[in-house]
Amino acid sequence: MATVTTSHAPRKVFFAQLDGLSGALAKLDDGRVYFFHPESGDLREVTSYKGLMALGEVGLAQTQYILDEMHGGYAKQACSRDCAPQVR
């Protein structure tokens, strides 16, 4: 039986407002902080903390949903994974 390993550290995502727009705040693998507006799909890098308010931590399930949406949606994530058997 193959063992699946992941190298991603658990991430924290926070509910946030940026210039009055509600969304989520996350730090991705590239080390940058991003603001994501789920209704419009707008994803922008946070370059200034002026107008930014972190409101509270998002739960685990909602965090995964937001991170999938930030990367193009669940279907894109599921279909773009390398599903080839790993030979050791």
Q: What is the pLDDT of residues 24-38, one digit of tens each?
A: 998 888 889 999 988
Domain that holds residue 35: 13-80
Cβ neighbours for 50, distance < 8 A, ≥ 6 positions apart: none
Q: What is the mean pLDDT of residues 36-63?
A: 86
Q: What is the mean pLDDT of residues 4-20?
A: 74
What percentage of the chain has pLDDT greater than the value 70? Answer: 73
Confidence of residue 39 (pLDDT cuts 50, 70, 90): confident
For residue 18, is it within any domain?
Answer: yes
For residue 6, is it within any domain?
Answer: no
Angle, CA 78 vertex, CA 4 and CA 66 arms, to 5°: 100
CA distance linking residue 14 with residue 16, whole number of Å? 6
For residue 5, is it within any domain?
Answer: no
What pLDDT, on the 0 to 100 scale, is given for residue 7?
A: 52
For residue 8, is it within any domain?
Answer: no
Specify whether the CB–CB gap between 2 and 13 falls below 8 A.
no
Count how many domains the chain has: 1
For residue 70, is it within any domain?
Answer: yes
DSSP annotation of 19: T
The pTM assigned to this predicted structure is: 0.59
